Amino acid sequence: METSNLIDSFSEFKEFKNIDRETLMRILEDVFRSALIKRYGTDENFDIIVNVDKGDLEIFRNREIVEDDKVEDDKTQIAYSEAIKIEADFEVGEELSERISMKDFGRRDILAIRQNLVAKVQDYERTAIYQKYKEKVGQIIVGEVYQVWNREILVQDEEKIELVLPKSEQIPADHYRKGDTIRAVVLKVEPKNNNLVITISRTSPIFLERLMEAEVPEIYDGLITIRKIVREPGEKAKVAVESYDDRIDPVGSCVGMKGGRIHGIVRELRNENIDVINFTTNPELYVQRALNPAKITSIKILEDEKKAEVFMHSEDVSLAIGKGGHNIKLASKLTGYEINVYRADDEGYEEDVDLQEFSDEIEQWIIDELKRIGCDTAKSVLAIPADELLQRTDLEEETINNVLQILKAEFEK
């Protein structure tokens, strides 16, 4: 049977995509049975024999031989006079098994068979990959960078399956070239426009969690539990850990001797600073630990509003805020409390607010300009007259007045 081009396409797919023999036979048979139904109206009296190893496929049409005037269904019966043309010694009542040649199919039929074949192969592959990677969601995979674009990186695993690393899932300091090895966590698997899109991530908290499981045996064994992870990818991360065994120091185990365990993770995350703290259900203590290394003098928890008012000496405020405000943002995400930091003097508490706390109302470049002249808190700005601010900064008068209005409103609440 002239099926070599069809079989060859399957043999190639079998070699590279690892379709097992049984599945290959089933797909081939399904494709040809569909073609038989279309051409003959039924496939019930046809035998299809597939030999995948030899690249061979045979089709036999079986019909009962009946007397010439008793043919009731020409799909399953053949007249005696027609049967003896094929083989002279046939008799009425016997079954005629006739081999079907590819020549019996028209050009359009052959094209349709080939297209159906390709479609079923692709459908099988999508289903197999979907099932495989659906089970890998949340797991780390290692791949090779295949193509680098502005908005995403195309990665291939060891089986040449394509994975996508979007720009949003890359650490800012990540820079890859074709051929580089990459580690990431499988984020999601979803059908899109008849294709399967497997998205991987290096910014997900799950990626850091899996890295810690790999480096810290106590986490992998369940002796230490990771309660929560928050990240500013490439900058800073905070990890709350807990152990139910008093003999185990969860923080010490995660960091390792001389930081040996955590250093490998930090390098993988492009020098992301990782703070590991002990989890506690005590909100005051939890907030205090989350703000390390800043030292707190006093704290007030407003449980109904999920806020924490923290007082500390001036030299600790910048530590609490952290570079770019990352420390206090992550502390708030980790604890679930909106944290407000105030300065405390020797005579009592004098409320003040770091300028970075107004980043949602005042643009960052304006805050940076005020910090350039030594103003890092709201009251330090309010202490300078507007005309002096106009002279000392590159800000417009309208901008300065708007800033002063926002800062004053904070203390009038």
What does the pLDDT look like over 314-350, one tens digit per residue? 888 888 988 888 999 999 999 999 998 887 754 444 5
C-alpha to C-alpha distance for 328 and 346, rounded to whole angstroms: 24
Q: Which residues of the chain have pLDDT under 70?
A: 1-21, 52-56, 345-351, 413
Q: How many residues does the chain have?
A: 413
Contact yes or no for 317/377 (Cβ under 8 A)? yes
Provide the pLDDT for residue 346. Answer: 40
Provide the pLDDT for residue 6. Answer: 53
For Cα atoms 305, 310, 314, give the angle at the middle one, nearest 5 degrees.
150
Provide the pLDDT for residue 171. Answer: 96
